[in-house]
Structure 1
Amino acid sequence: DIKDGGAFISDGYSQKYNIEVGDEVTLKESYGDKKYNFKVEGIYDDPATIAVYLTDSDFIKTFELEDGYFNGYFSNTKIKDIDDLYIATTITKDDLTKTSRQLILSMGSMISMFATAGVIMFMLIVYLLSKVIIEKNSQSISMTKILGYNNREINSLYITTTTIVVIASMLLTVPIVNVTLKYIFKVAFAQYSGWMPYYVPAKIFVEVPLLGIVSYAVIAFILTRRVKKVPLDEALKNVE
């Protein structure tokens, strides 16, 4: 659907350089002084490639090539009407996804290890912080027991409040971290000639908070037992 005189750019080109439909791009020869200006008529869904697409006639005219010259074709089916003599290489979908498959195979187990380590670290930090809160308020907890409050009511005063803070912080920080990583990713790849899109599946924004809530539920259960074990005579101790 490219019109003569216009150009399409890849999605990766658009993302990396913040180029939108209607903008103009200027390409310069690597080893010369010639410059080529193109108006962006559309964006082609090819997020991992930096590319500009032209019609055959515009390509030949712009780069002063012979009629009938081509450097590549996109096709959903196998092309059978080109002599093998003129085919330098054939790139299939399998070729394009080979690198990502290799990364999944080589780093998939590492990602699981990082996720497990992250959950353990999260549980440890939240447990220690919550434990400090209970220990600092052990006399107050003991006094509430003397005054007739049961363990469930005491938990609502201390653990429930901490639970609200933990859940709220997870719901707020996940999108903030996503935006921050997206920016860092873009800045980092701006230094290289290629491009790899930053992509987080929508399910991650559900799985991460749920994983955090389940992890904290284990911690909350442990903390309720600590509250239950606070003795009544704790309130009678002198505090220096």
Structure 2
Amino acid sequence: MRKIRTVIIDDELHSRDELCHLLKQHEDVEVIAMCEEAQSGLMAIINHEPDLLFLDIDMPQTNGLELAKSLMKIKNKPKVVFATAHAHYAAKAFRVEAMDYLLKPFDEDELSETLKRYREQVLKQFQHKQSVVTSKERLTRLAVDDEERIRYLDPRSILYLSKEERETVIRTREQMYRVRTPLKELKQKLEGYPFLQTHKSYIVNLAEIEGLVPWFNGAYQIKMKGIKDEVPASRTYVKALREKLEL
């Protein structure tokens, strides 16, 4: 069971502890960080990339609304639930795309409803992604230029693709092909197969990964089956990669 990785940001110790205690009653929730002000909270969000954020509004220096507004610019934004003693902030809260709004003191049933709403939203998003993939006709072969003639590759034979200057390299176990088709376009054509972007310049066939080697600053090198090449996995893409590999 995948945990709902959660961060709490609240300047009141009692409120943090109370909310943490209530959340721990739910087996699928994991509180990974508790912070007392916005700046340390923002760092926790960047470093841990939580799924869900419980955020107080009335805090010194940077308030919760300002922090939530800044989160709208980041790539992996958590779902935001405002947890506050002040009901009059509700309208402003939803302008920054808050998922829900809880009033202190916290009610167990209301918190359970919030978590239920989160689970339903995540399930809908997953089902939508699946329907997009399955609604498209899956590519059965990929055409590539090979010394002035066209070859047709089985997508499952591709180990990885990489961008090199103005060309895209397609690597199979036997050969390497260079094409003019942009990496982004090839990624779209290969939807329905287990390909995942691991770096801004690399897309990897998950079924052909042999292992991961830790690298610098949270990055990895990916060892592919049957070849000596190692493919980079940058920090930006590591979380998605580990989830796909169930690590």
TM-score (norm 2): 0.27
Higher-helix-fraction structure:
1
Query: Which structure has the greater CA radius of gyration?
Result: 1
* Superposition TM-score, scaled by structure 1 size: 0.28
Give the strand-richer structure, 1 or 2.
2
